[in-house]
Amino acid sequence: MDIIPLTPFDLSLAALLMAALALLSLRMKLRLERQILVAAARTTIQLLLVGLVLKAIFSNVHLGWIALMAAVMLLAAGREVVGRQKRRFTGWRGFGIGTLSMCISSFTITVLALTVVIEIDPWYEPQYAIPLLGMLLGNTMNGIAIGLDRLTGMARDLRGAIEGRLMLGQTAREAIGDIRRESIRGGLIPIINSMSAAGLVSLPGMMTGQILAGNPPMEAVKYQILIMFLIAGGTGFGTMTAVWLGARRLFDERERLRLDRLKVVRK
Mean pLDDT of the chain: 89
For 191-220, what is the mean pLDDT?
A: 79
For 120-129, what is the mean pLDDT?
A: 88
Residue closest to 132 by CA, chosen among 197, 228, 57, 61: 228
CA distance 254 to 257: 9
Burial class (CB in 10 A: 0-12, 13-18, 19+), 104: middle
27-63 pLDDT per residue, tens? 998 889 999 999 999 999 999 998 998 888 888 888 9
Res. 112: pLDDT tops 70: yes
Task: Read off φ and ψ for residue 168, nearest 5 degrees.
Answer: -85, 0
Whether 129 and 160 have beta carbons less than 8 Å apart is answered as no
Res. 1: pLDDT tops 70: no
CA distance 150 to 184: 9
Predicted confidence band of residue 267 (pLDDT cuts 50, 70, 90): low
Whether 190 and 143 have beta carbons less than 8 Å apart is answered as yes
CA distance 149 to 88: 8
249 to 108, 129, 243: CA distances (angstroms)? 24, 33, 10
For 124-151, what is the mean pLDDT?
A: 91
**Residue-by-residue DSSP string for 190-219:** HHHHHHHHBTTTB--HHHHHHHHTT--HHH
Predicted confidence band of residue 5 (pLDDT cuts 50, 70, 90): confident
195 versus 21: the higher-pLDDT residue is 21
The structural domains of the chain, with segments of one domain joined by +, span 1-60, 62-264
Q: What is the pLDDT of residue 2?
A: 62
CA distance 141 to 186: 13
Dmax over Cα atoms in the chain, in whole Å? 69
For 192-202, what is the mean pLDDT?
A: 81
Q: What is the pLDDT of residue 147?
A: 94
Q: What is the pLDDT of residue 220?
A: 83
222 versus 214: the higher-pLDDT residue is 222
Q: What is the pLDDT of residue 219?
A: 85
For 207-219, what is the mean pLDDT?
A: 78
100 versus 208: the higher-pLDDT residue is 100
Rg (Cα) of the chain, in Å, rounded?
21
